[in-house]
Amino acid sequence: MQIRNNLEISALEVPRFRLFKDSSSRFSRLLILMLFAGAIFASPAAAQVSRSGEPVTIVPQALPANSISSVLDRGRQLETNNRWGEALSHYEDALREHRGNETLQQHHDLAKLHYSVERRYHDQSFVESISTLNREQALSLYAELLQKTNTHYVSNPPWRKLGVRGASAIDLALTDANFLSVNKLQLSTDQLAQVRKEIYQLLGQRTLQNSRDLMTFSSDVARLAEVRAGLNPTATVLEFVTAAAEGLDDYSSFLTADQLRETYSQIEGNFVGLGVELKAENGALLIVRVIPGSPAERAGILSQDRIVAVDGKSTAELSTDEAASMLTGVEGSYVRVTVYSSGAEPRVLNIRREHVNVPSLEDPKIVDSDFGIAYARIPAFQKTTSRDLETALWDLHRQGMRSLILDLRGNPGGLLTASVELADKFLTEGNIVSTRGRSPQEDFNYTAHYGGTWRVPLVVLIDGDSASASEIFAGAIKDNNRGTIVGSTSFGKGSVQGIFPLGFAGAGIRLTTAKFYSPKGTAISYNGVEPHDKVQVVAKQAVDRIDLASQEKTDIVLQAGIQAARSRLAAPVAKPSTVR
C-alpha cells in the first residue's frame, strides 16, 4: 500500500517520509540543532536588476571566484588542523564553482569520510550500537541498507564504488583518535600498516558487482580486522554501512537513531535546544538565524553573533561536531556559552534548553500600504506551512492586500507535499512538478486544482540558498506564468529523498529516490530556477544583523520585489479625501 501524502507506507508497512534536505547534507547548512540548517541572510549594499533575457553575473557571497590552487591551499589548511566539517563545507562550495573537478571531488570525499566518523563517534546512539549489535546483526543491517538501495535508489547502485569506499572508510577510521578510543584499540605503526595492506589485498581480489559481493567483502574485512587488530567486527561493518549510504550522492546518508529522531522532529517543526541555526566559521559557531520566541532569543543572542566557547571550552580547540554536541542536551538542562558580537565585549550566557516550535511562516505584514503589497517569509516547507499561510493570507486580505511577495531566500526545502500544496494554493490548473525515479512507484505528476485558489498577483524572492522544495514552488509559479520571480538563481537541488527506518539500532537511511522536473520539463539539478528579474549583488553591506522592522528600506532584493509587485497593479489604493 502507498499513500502519496506527508506519510508514505512502503511494501513492508514501514513509515517513510518524503522530504528534501537540508541541507543536505550540505555542511554549510550545518548542525541540525534546529529545523533545517540555514544560510546567512544579509542585505547587500547595492544591487542591479535586469530581466532574465540579459545575462547578469551574480557575485557569490559564500565563496569568491578563486583559482583551484588557492581553493586547495585553503582546504589543506583545514585538513591539517583536522577541521573536517569546515573542510567539507569549503569543498562543497568550491565544487559549485568548479563543478566536475576531479581533484576537488577527491578532497571532498576525503573530508566527507573524516567528518562522518568524527560525527558518528560523538553520537551516543551510534556508540551504543557498537556494543549492542553483534556481528550478525550488523551484517543484517548492512544487508537491509543495500537491499533498500537496490530497490529504491534513483539509479543503478555503483556497487564497486561503494565497496571501495567501505575499505577506505575502515582504513581512515583506524587512524581516528575517537574511533580508536571507543573501540579500545592501541595499534603499533607496523600493525596498522599490515592491516591496511591486507585490506587492500582483499579488495584487489574482489569484483564487487552486486550487494552479495559487498556483504562477503565486508564480512571478510571484519574478520581480518578482528584477528589482526582486535577490532570489534560490528565496528568494521558499521563503517561499511555508513560508507555505502553516504557514497551514493551528496544527499543520501546513514541516520543514527538520534539523527532519525531529529529528522522526524524536523518534519513536525519542533525540537529541544536553544533555537538557533549555526554554521562553522573560522573556529567559531556563527549564528545564522535565531528562531523567534526561542531560549536563544530571550537570552539576547542575535543573528551574526558568534559562539566562541561552550561550557568554558573554546570552540577553536574543539571540532565543530564536538562544539555542536555540547550545545545539545535534555530539556530543562543549561549550557553556558560565550557569545561575541562585532564591536562588543564577549558575554557569557547561561541558557536553558527547551522545547522549540519552529514557525513555518515569518513576518507576514503589509510592506506597501499605498499599493496594498503584502509580504511573508517561508523559512522551510513543513507540514503546517500551507495551513499557516492560508490563515495569514486571510488576515492580510482583511488589511487590504492586493499583491503578495513570498520570500523563499535561504529556504533549504522541506516536504515535497508542502511545496505542492502551497503551489496549488495559487494555481488553478496545470502541472506543479513531476518526479522520476528508477522505480515506477517514484514517477508522479502533481497537478493543480481549481478550488480554493488565491488569485492575488504574486512575486517570489529566491537566492542561491533557495533549494529543493523552494525550487519546486518557484519553478511551478514561473512555468505557469503565475507570478514574477525576483533575485538570483536558486541552488539547483533537484532530487527527492525518502527516509527509510532500518531494522536494527533504531537507525535509518536518507535515500535519493527520484529527480524532479518543473512543469515545462526543466531539470532542476545543477540548473536551479532562473528569476525573471535578476538582482546583481555589487557589494555586501558590512552589517552584523538584519533588523526585520526596517528590512523594507535596507533589503534591495525586497525593494526589487516591491517594484515588481507595483508594476503589476494598475494604481495605488485611492485614499479617502478629507473635507475641511
Q: What are the catalytic residues?
A: 468, 479, 493
What CA–CA distance (Å, rounded) separates 351 from 84? 28
What CA–CA distance (Å, rounded) separates 457 from 470? 19
For the chain, count helices (H), then strands (E): 18, 22
CA-closest candidate to residue 298, choices 247, 246, 351, 259: 351
Residue 269 burial by Cβ neighbours in a 10 Å radius (0-12, 13-18, 19+) = buried
- State the helix-helix crossing angle for 211-229 and 135-152, rounded to 10 degrees: 150
φ/ψ of residue 308, rounded to 5: -110, -10
Lookup: cell for 320: 565543530
What CA–CA distance (Å, rounded) separates 452 from 458? 16
What CA–CA distance (Å, rounded) separates 150 from 500? 13
- CB-based contact 247:162 (threshold 8 Å): yes
Q: Which H/E stretch holds residue 124? A: helix 124-132
CA-closest candidate to residue 322, choices 83, 98, 62, 157: 83
What CA–CA distance (Å, rounded) separates 350 from 266? 25
Secondary structure class of 527 (helix, strand, coil): coil
Lookup: cell for 375: 509580504
- CB-based contact 367:375 (threshold 8 Å): yes
- CB-based contact 409:557 (threshold 8 Å): yes
What CA–CA distance (Å, rounded) separates 258 from 103? 34
Q: Look up cell 563503517; give the residue.
A: 239
Q: Hey, how many other C-beta atoms are within 10 angstroms of the C-beta on 452? A: 9
